[in-house]
């Protein structure tokens, strides 16, 4: 592990600019770290050749006196849910066997245009369905953090490979996607920053769809500033995605260090869970004190429909997924398992191609959309969603940003909660409400639990007010001074 | 128009509703930029979206929305300012997404009306229930390979309008008139080419029967994808008779989807109710609702052409045509345009007769559409002009027209080349009249004996002697004078 692996995007950009090192050197150091950390299983496809070639291009640009901005020459990892031109794209599923897109997702294209160097495609829960990165066809990802007695821990999910790669200093940053917490929860579990922008801020074009009305791409980084830099590159209106917002992308770093003096921070009463470790409550209080000591005013707010968010999410997301995943039918690409009739081919292909969790959600989704159940489940869940959004809207009449814990626990061991889907789903209990309302949110590493494992604090802001979100997150980050790192990355 | 089926247990009438799927005239598909031309090689007009590649998203083609609104306005229908695309979920090999994007609970067009011109000159209003936009599926080819079915996705994603009638139709003929009228309106609007042979228009035919005098709606069957007016009428005849037989035998009619076997002229069960798909409709989260403003709708409204009903009324009121002639002339926009050009500055009734008589006859015989007519509207107008100013007679005009149709030459050219100008010189005609009288004393005696009708024979003889060029009016006058 070299010092190059420990840089922030900001510091690396400066080093490149000052000629302290080249992008090829920076990239080579990260490829070396990738090679050294094979046991984490963070990547499904490693692309060292592509990385070195793009690094070389970046160096050539710089030598010629031009750069493409703060991400030029920065080695990053890409969640294997983003379609990447000419590079295997699996979504962590057997059913996409051998699928190599002829196209590049808008978000990764934006990063490519900005000169970012792709190290590889990171492991994830199958079709981004999971909170522990244990549902991947390509086997679980191990967190670089170890539990008591050296136990292997989950990195969280679904962006578990991306989180592990960033935490283990294999990549300076990584892309993730967040449907109900898939960026923020793994960030919390691995002691890094994970940010989900406002729904519509990033284009969904070219991202394998899980739940269309909830999916958003976002950055996983080691600092809030890096998240602000990277989101600035990823975001932007895209005519190819009707749900992408036709609004300009501000410079998210401009007011990053502006402080929180005079800011009103809401502390929602409802963000607690029976049996939640006391240290999470304590950290939450600590976060409140950190912000208050910097001049913010913290007030308690009520979001009364919070408890309905998770059940409603587990109706809406599977419903959309059941339809979005219908295209994986063995006819045009990916896995095909032959059968004696079309129906048998479908059954064989989808039965073999989808893992247990994906099959469970497709079945739930099909059920809640069925004649006779649609009104009782899907329509009602959509109403709940409206109520949740209204809760937030009312709260934001009084406050600028909300502070909550990111997850109800620290990372757990691989294999735990595997036989209890509901216990697994509870991982996202604090992240799902913002997803249901389409709001921007971020997890900032803030402390350690009694076993020395990272815990994150979670901020939620108004639609398209990522600037306030980043500014508050930066203040929290400064105060927390989180500098713990996983073994092997020290 | 009555269509009563005499069953063993009494008389029955038929209740018919049609769901017409009309391909929206558009260069690009409903949610992708791929082309829509008919007859292209398999899978050559398929975008990543049409093939449902992972991560692909639909983007609405605004032009298709405009076309649907125009059609709604043409059907005098309610335009819904807010409409929603939903997903209709089912698996089939030629449905790449595993769902069809279609409007369901909130269509873009609501209730409207189509006016049928009945053969007796009366009109009958048929209600439109709704019009919604949807995408077409691809095509499965089962006869290209001994063991496999092949898929052509060229049609996948092509924009369709589904136009649903109310169950207002009562006879096979009415259903035929309805489809023809609908096609005529769509062609006027240029929102669908109405080409049933190329699959641009096809209908699902809903049929039920009930005892005459009853106003109940009994169980109906739906026969899918019928692609000609004749077949639609056959489906209704067959289904109505089959259902009456069933009731007569004490059986029930089963609600089901049927298909039409054109070779046998009968319908067959395709899918019964218990095997009906549960389509699990829900709003497509990849698309925003379609929102229209009053200004936009007003703007679309201004761009509408004169439609057949209005045109017909104008032909009757302003031009003095009979309802029948006007009705025939407005069916096709091209015919109406042809007529209006040919009739400009001429007697409209003569023009109407020439278009519906001589021109239609010649086109039919040659198997040509009016747009491919060798005699242009301007050329026919010139011919009408030559008749109007007595340059040629009506009889000569028929010959001239035939030659025009065959050679493409102008009327003036033909008349000049063949010296067909009418003889209006009285002296010349007088000579011919006198020669005929002198040469036929028996007929002269007959006429003078009181057989007035014999005058026609004399006219014929004079015309023959002058090669048909004598002005018939002058011939008549002179004959009467000389024979008196």
Closest Cβ opposite residue A326 in set B59, B99, B287:
B99
Q: Does A210 touch chain B (CB under 8 A)?
A: no
More confident residue, A133 or A2: A133
- The pLDDT of residue A424 is 87
CA B313 to chain centre: 18
Range B207-219 average pLDDT: 95
Convert the pLDDT of each residue in B61-88 to its tens digit: 999 999 999 999 999 999 999 999 999 9
Min Cα–Cα distance to chain A from B111, Å: 26
Convert the pLDDT of each residue in B393-424 to its tens digit: 888 899 999 999 999 999 999 988 887 777 77
Q: Do A242 and B287 touch (CB under 8 A)?
A: yes
B281 contacts in A (CB within 8 Å)?
369, 374
Q: Do B52 and A327 touch (CB under 8 A)?
A: yes
Closest Cβ opposite residue B55 in set A207, A242, A369:
A207
- The pLDDT of residue B394 is 83
| Res A276 pLDDT > 70 | yes
Please give the structure tokens belonging to residue A156: 């969280």
A371 contacts in B (CB within 8 Å)?
278, 280
Range A328-349 average pLDDT: 96
- The pLDDT of residue B456 is 86
Rounded Cα distance between B166 and B169, Å, is: 8
Convert the pLDDT of each residue in A169-202 to its tens digit: 999 999 999 999 999 999 999 999 999 999 999 9
| Res B200 pLDDT > 60 | yes
Listed range (B308-312, B369-373, B419-423) with the worst mean pLDDT: B419-423
Convert the pLDDT of each residue in A366-421 to its tens digit: 999 999 999 999 999 999 999 999 999 999 999 999 999 999 999 999 988 888 88
A204 contacts in B (CB within 8 Å)?
55, 57
CB B67 within 8 A of CB B160: no
Query: Which of the four pLDDT bands, split at 50, 70 and 90, describes residue B475?
Result: confident
- Domain locations in chain B? 5-300, 314-418, 426-483
Q: First and final CA of chain A: distance in angstroms?
A: 8
Range A277-299 average pLDDT: 97
| CATH architecture group of domain B426-483 | Orthogonal Bundle (1.10)
| Res B330 pLDDT > 80 | yes
Q: Do A211 and B56 touch (CB under 8 A)?
A: no
Pick the closest to residue A41 from A208, A168, A220 (CA basis). Answer: A168
CB B402 within 8 A of CB B362: yes
Closest Cβ opposite residue A323 in set B99, B287, B288:
B99
DSSP single-letter state for residue B104? -
More confident residue, A420 or A342: A342
The full set of domains in chain A, from first to last, is 3-256 (3.90.1300.10)
B273 contacts in A (CB within 8 Å)?
none
Range A252-261 average pLDDT: 97
Please give the structure tokens belonging to residue A30: 């990260």
CB A124 within 8 A of CB A92: yes
pTM, to two decimals: 0.91
| Res A490 pLDDT > 70 | no
Residue-wise over B147-174: b if at least 16 C-beta within 10 A, else e? eeeebbbbbbbbbbbbbbbbbbbbbbbb
Q: Do B96 and A346 touch (CB under 8 A)?
A: no
Cα distances (angstroms) measured from residue A386 to each of A340, A390, A428, B287, B291: 46, 6, 19, 18, 20
Closest Cβ opposite residue B282 in set A91, A319, A342:
A319
| Nearby residues of A51 by Cβ (< 8 Å), 6 or more positions away | A27, A30, A31, A75, A117, A118, A119, A120
Listed range (A105-114, A184-193, A220-229, B469-478) with the worst mean pLDDT: B469-478
DSSP single-letter state for residue B406? H
Q: Which among B285, B289, B290 is the top mutation candidate for probing chain A, defined by the most A β-carbons within 10 Å of its own β-carbon?
A: B285
CB B79 within 8 A of CB B297: yes
Where would I find the beta strands (DSSP E) of A47-202? 75-79, 117-122, 173-178, 193-196
By C-alpha distance, the chain A residue nearest B90 is: A326
Query: Which of the four pLDDT bands, split at 50, 70 and 90, describes residue A291?
Result: very high
| Nearby residues of B313 by Cβ (< 8 Å), 6 or more positions away | B326
Range A136-146 average pLDDT: 97
Range B114-142 average pLDDT: 94
Cα dihedral sign for B380, B384, B387, B389?
A: negative
Range B118-140 average pLDDT: 94
């Amino acid at each position: 592990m070299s010092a190059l692996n420990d840089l922030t995007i900001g510091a690396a950009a400066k080093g490149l600019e000052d000629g302290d090192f080249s992008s090829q050197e920076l990239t080579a150091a990260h490829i070396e770290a990738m090679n050294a950390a094979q046991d984490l299983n963070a990547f499904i496809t490693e692309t060292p050749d592509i990385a070195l070639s793009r690094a070389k291009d970046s160096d050539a640009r710089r030598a010629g006196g031009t750069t493409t901005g703060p991400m030029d020459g920065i080695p990053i990892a890409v969640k294997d849910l983003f379609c990447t031109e000419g590079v295997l794209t699996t979504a962590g599923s057997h059913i996409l066997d051998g699928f190599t897109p002829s196209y590049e997702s808008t978000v990764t294209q934006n990063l490519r245009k900005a000169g970012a160097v792709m190290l590889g495609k990171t492991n994830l829960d199958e079709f981004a369905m999971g909170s522990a990165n244990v549902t991947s066809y390509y086997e679980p990802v191990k967190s670089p953090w170890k539990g008591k007695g050296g136990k292997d821990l989950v990195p969280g999910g679904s962006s578990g490979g991306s989180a592990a790669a960033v935490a283990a200093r294999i990549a300076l940053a990584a892309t993730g996607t967040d449907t109900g917490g898939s960026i923020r929860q793994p960030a919390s579990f691995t002691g890094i920053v994970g940010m989900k922008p406002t729904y519509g801020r990033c284009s969904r074009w070219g991202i394998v769809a899980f739940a269309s009305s909830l999916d958003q791409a976002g950055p996983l980084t080691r600092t809030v500033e890096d998240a602000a830099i990277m989101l600035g590159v990823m975001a932007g209106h895209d005519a190819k995605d009707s749900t992408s917002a036709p609004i300009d992308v501000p410079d998210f770093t401009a007011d990053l260090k502006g402080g929180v003096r005079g800011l009103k921070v809401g502390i929602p009463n409802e963000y607690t869970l029976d049996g939640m470790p006391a240290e999470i409550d304590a950290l939450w209080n600590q976060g409140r004190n950190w912000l208050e000591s910097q001049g913010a005013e913290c007030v308690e707010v009520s979001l009364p429909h919070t408890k309905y968010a998770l059940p409603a999410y587990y109706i809406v997301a599977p419903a959309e997924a059941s339809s979005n995943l219908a295209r994986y039918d063995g006819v045009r690409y990916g896995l095909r398992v032959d059968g004696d009739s079309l129906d048998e081919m479908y059954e064989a292909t989808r039965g073999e191609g989808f893992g247990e969790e994906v099959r469970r959600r497709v079945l739930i989704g099909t059920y809640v959309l069925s004649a006779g159940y649609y009104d009782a489940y899907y329509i009602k869940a959509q109403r709940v969603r409206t109520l949740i959004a209204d809760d937030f809207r009312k709260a934001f009449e009084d406050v600028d940003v909300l502070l909550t814990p990111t997850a109800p626990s620290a990372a757990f061991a691989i294999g735990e909660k595997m036989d209890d889907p509901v216990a697994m789903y509870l991982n996202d209990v604090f992240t799902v409400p913002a997803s249901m309302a389409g709001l921007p949110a971020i997890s900032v590493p803030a402390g350690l639990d009694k076993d020395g494992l990272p815990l994150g604090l979670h901020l939620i802001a108004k639609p398209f007010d990522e600037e306030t979100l980043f500014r508050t997150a930066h203040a929290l980050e400064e105060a927390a001074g989180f500098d713990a790192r996983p073994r092997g990355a020290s | 128009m009555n269509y009563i089926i005499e069953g063993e247990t009494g008389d029955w009438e038929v209740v018919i509703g049609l769901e017409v799927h009309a391909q929206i005239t558009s260069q690009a598909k409903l949610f992708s930029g791929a082309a829509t031309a008919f007859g292209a090689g398999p899978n050559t007009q398929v975008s990543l979206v049409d093939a449902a590649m992972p991560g692909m998203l639909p983007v609405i083609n605004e032009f298709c929305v405009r076309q649907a609104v125009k059609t709604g306005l043409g059907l005098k229908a309610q335009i819904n300012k807010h409409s929603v695309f939903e997903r209709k979920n089912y698996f089939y090999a030629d449905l790449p997404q595993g769902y069809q994007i279609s409007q369901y609970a909130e269509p873009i067009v609501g209730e409207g009306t189509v006016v049928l011109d009945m053969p007796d000159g009366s009109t009958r209003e048929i209600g439109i229930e709704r019009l919604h936009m949807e995408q077409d599926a691809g095509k499965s080819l089962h006869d290209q390979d001994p063991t496999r079915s092949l898929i052509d996705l060229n049609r996948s994603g092509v924009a369709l309008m589904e136009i649903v009638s109310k169950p207002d139709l009562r006879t096979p003929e009415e259903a035929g008139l309805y489809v023809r009228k609908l096609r005529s309106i769509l062609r006027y609007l240029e929102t669908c080419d109405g080409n049933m042979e190329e699959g641009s228009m096809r209908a699902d035919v809903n049929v039920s029967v009930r005892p005459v005098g009853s106003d109940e709606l009994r169980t109906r069957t739906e026969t899918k994808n019928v692609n000609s007016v004749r077949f639609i009428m056959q489906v209704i005849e067959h289904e109505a008779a089959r259902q009456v037989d069933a009731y007569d035998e004490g059986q029930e009619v089963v609600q089901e989807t049927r298909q039409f076997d054109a070779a046998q002229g009968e319908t067959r069960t395709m899918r019964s109710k218990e095997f009906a798909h549960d389509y699990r409709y829900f709003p497509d989260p990849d698309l925003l609702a379609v929102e229209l403003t009053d200004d936009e709708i007003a703007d679309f409204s201004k761009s509408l052409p004169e439609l057949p009903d209005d045109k017909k009324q104008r032909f009757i009121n302003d031009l003095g045509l009979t309802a029948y002639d006007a009705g025939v002339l407005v069916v096709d926009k091209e015919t109406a345009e042809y007529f209006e050009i040919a009739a400009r500055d001429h007697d409209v009734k003569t023009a109407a007769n020439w278009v519906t008589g001589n021109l239609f006859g010649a086109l039919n015989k040659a198997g040509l559409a009016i747009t491919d007519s060798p005699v242009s509207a301007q050329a026919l107008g010139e011919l009408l002009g030559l008749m109007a100013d007595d340059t040629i007679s009506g009889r000569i005009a028929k010959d001239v027209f035939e030659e025009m149709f065959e050679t493409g030459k102008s009327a003036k050219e033909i008349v000049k080349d063949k010296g067909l100008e009418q003889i209006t010189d009285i002296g010349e005609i007088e000579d011919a009249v006198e020669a005929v009288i002198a040469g036929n004393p028996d007929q002269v005696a007959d006429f003078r004996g009181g057989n007035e009708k014999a005058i026609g024979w004399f006219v014929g003889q004079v015309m023959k002697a002058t090669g048909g060029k004598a002005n018939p009016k002058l011939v008549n006058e002179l004959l009467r004078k000389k024979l008196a």
